[in-house]
């Protein structure tokens, strides 16, 4: 059975840096629709203390999601040194599509077909496919790519994760400070070596009481127009859900790969809140009876890049792969975990072994 290896990566980090001063004139409301009377400096500093997000990146006014995805895809294709006309599938993970400055989402035509067009791929057999799966979308797209390769339906696949969350946030919601924009991509191909590449995966979908922990809803400001919908996180419920379920899913994936936590070189986990990530990694090690571990196992980008949803993990992978996130590196035969949790609620994880 063929296996799936990554042969090229790329990312696009928007150049517009948004620091805490950007929010100093904001008016914040609680989830109950009551105005927060505390000084903004106090509100913002508490937010930083919890999330560790000092800066985030926003796209330019004349840019769209597909523009960011296109740039990341171009870089991944160049890094892979392939003929893009030989790509069998383009899988594009996104949750809002090409959002305009008024917050209107647009998935027609699909994001994957748009990036195929922007790349100039003429091959009619290059199939475009969109993955809408919450923040775990890129990891799930990678899992789908592996399934297609293992079933011998494809040999070469472009997997893109791109999002522009800055255009779907409520101006009156403190959580808008979490969200950011960006794109990451990889090219994967089939290999006959079953001992490298994607060696295990796991996906969990809890869509019952957890369904609306992350949703779209009207502004928190009661007298605002109720028609526009914005991304809304119910932070405490997400935190409790993630802490309870994500470590188990990661351990299940590591077990499935017949490995131990000591065999894992890096854990690239989706980042929405530094406090939550630290807690999840700590809980994972406790499942193995370990209370003290090297925190470098889980690289962090959230402090300067914020939460770019589906783009977080592929962007982090590309930065490490290109030596741009020191001291983190990948070595031959390293076992690396990709793991994410998000809207749905959905969780997934992959164990990837470098050739």
Residues 88 and 187 in one domain: yes
Q: Is the pTM of this model over 0.85?
A: yes
- pLDDT tens, position by position, 184-201: 999 999 999 989 999 999
pLDDT band for 272, please (50, 70, 90 cuts).
confident
pLDDT band for 10, please (50, 70, 90 cuts).
very high
User: Which one of 140, 162, 195 terminates a domain?
Assistant: 195
**Residue 280 confidence (pLDDT) above 90:** yes
pLDDT band for 287, please (50, 70, 90 cuts).
very high
Residues 168 and 203 in one domain: no
Cα–Cα distance measured from residue 181 to residue 82, given in angstroms and rounded to the nearest whole number? 27
> What is residue 271's predicted lDDT score, i.e. its pLDDT?
87
Residue 126 φ then ψ, to 5°: -80, 105
> What is residue 32's predicted lDDT score, i.e. its pLDDT?
92
Residues 175 and 300 in one domain: no
**Residue 1 confidence (pLDDT) above 90:** no
CB count, 10 Å around CB of 52? 17
Residues 183 and 203 in one domain: no
> What is residue 307's predicted lDDT score, i.e. its pLDDT?
96
**Residue 102 confidence (pLDDT) above 90:** no
Domain span at residue 243 reads 198-353
Residues 52 and 149 in one domain: yes
- pLDDT tens, position by position, 78-93: 999 999 999 999 999 9
Pairing type for strands 89-93 and 156-164 reads parallel
> What is residue 235's predicted lDDT score, i.e. its pLDDT?
86
Cβ atoms 96, 168 nearer than 8 A: yes
Cis peptide leading into residue 109 (ω within 30°): yes
User: Which one of 172, 195, 218 terminates a domain?
Assistant: 195
- pLDDT tens, position by position, 131-183: 999 999 999 999 999 999 999 999 999 999 999 999 999 999 999 999 999 99
Cβ atoms 200, 350 nearer than 8 A: yes
* Alpha helices, H only, 4-95: 40-51, 65-80
- pLDDT tens, position by position, 198-238: 999 999 999 999 999 999 999 999 999 999 999 999 989 99
* Alpha helices, H only, the chain: 40-51, 65-80, 111-119, 137-150, 235-256, 274-287, 302-305, 312-321
> What is residue 312's predicted lDDT score, i.e. its pLDDT?
97
Degrees to nearest 5, angle at CA 159 with 350 and 324: 80
pLDDT band for 103, please (50, 70, 90 cuts).
confident
Mean pLDDT of the chain: 96
User: Which one of 178, 195, 212 terminates a domain?
Assistant: 195
Residues 94 and 202 in one domain: no
Measuring CA to CA, which residue among 95, 138, 98, 136 is closest to residue 114? 98
> What is residue 261's predicted lDDT score, i.e. its pLDDT?
97
In the chain, the percentage of residues whose pLDDT exceeds 70 is 100
What CATH number does residue 251 fall under?
Answer: 3.40.47.10
């Amino acid at each position: 059975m063929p296996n799936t290896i990554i042969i090229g990566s790329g990312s696009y980090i928007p150049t517009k840096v948004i620091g805490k001063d950007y929010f100093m004139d904001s008016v914040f409301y609680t989830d109950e629709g009551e105005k927060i009377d505390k000084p903004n400096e106090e509100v913002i500093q508490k937010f930083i203390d919890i999330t560790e997000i000092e800066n985030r990146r926003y796209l330019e006014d004349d840019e769209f999601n597909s523009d960011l995805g296109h740039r990341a895809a171009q870089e991944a294709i160049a890094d892979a040194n392939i003929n893009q006309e030989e790509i069998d599938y383009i899988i594009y993970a996104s949750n809002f599509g090409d959002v305009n400055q008024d917050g209107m989402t647009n998935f027609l035509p699909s994001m994957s077909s748009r990036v195929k067009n922007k790349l100039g791929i003429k091959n009619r057999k290059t199939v475009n496919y969109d993955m809408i799966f919450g923040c775990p979308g890129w990891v799930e797209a990678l899992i789908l790519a592996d399934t297609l390769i293992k079933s011998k339906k494809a040999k070469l696949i472009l997997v893109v994760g791109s999002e522009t969350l800055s255009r779907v946030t409520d101006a009156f919601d403190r959580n808008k400070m979490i969200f950011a924009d960006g794109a990451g991509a990889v090219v994967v191909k089939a290999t006959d070596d079953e001992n490298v590449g994607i060696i295990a995966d796991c996906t969990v979908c809890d869509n019952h009481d957890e369904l609306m922990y992350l949703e779209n809803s009207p502004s928190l400001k009661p007298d605002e127009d109720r028609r526009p919908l914005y991304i809304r996180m119910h932070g405490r419920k997400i935190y409790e859900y993630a802490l309870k379920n994500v470590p188990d899913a990661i351990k299940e994936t590591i077990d499935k790969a017949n490995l131990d936590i000591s065999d894992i070189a890096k854990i690239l986990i989706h980042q929405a809140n530094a406090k939550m990530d630290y807690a999840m990694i700590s809980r994972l090690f406790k499942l193995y009876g370990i209370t003290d571990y090297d925190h470098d196992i889980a690289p962090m980008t959230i402090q300067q890049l914020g939460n770019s949803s589906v783009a977080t993990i592929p962007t982090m992978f590309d930065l490490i792969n290109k030596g741009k996130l020191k001291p983190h590196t990948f070595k031959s035969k390293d076992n690396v975990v990709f793991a994410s949790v998000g809207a749905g609620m959905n969780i997934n994880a992959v164990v990837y072994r470098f050739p």
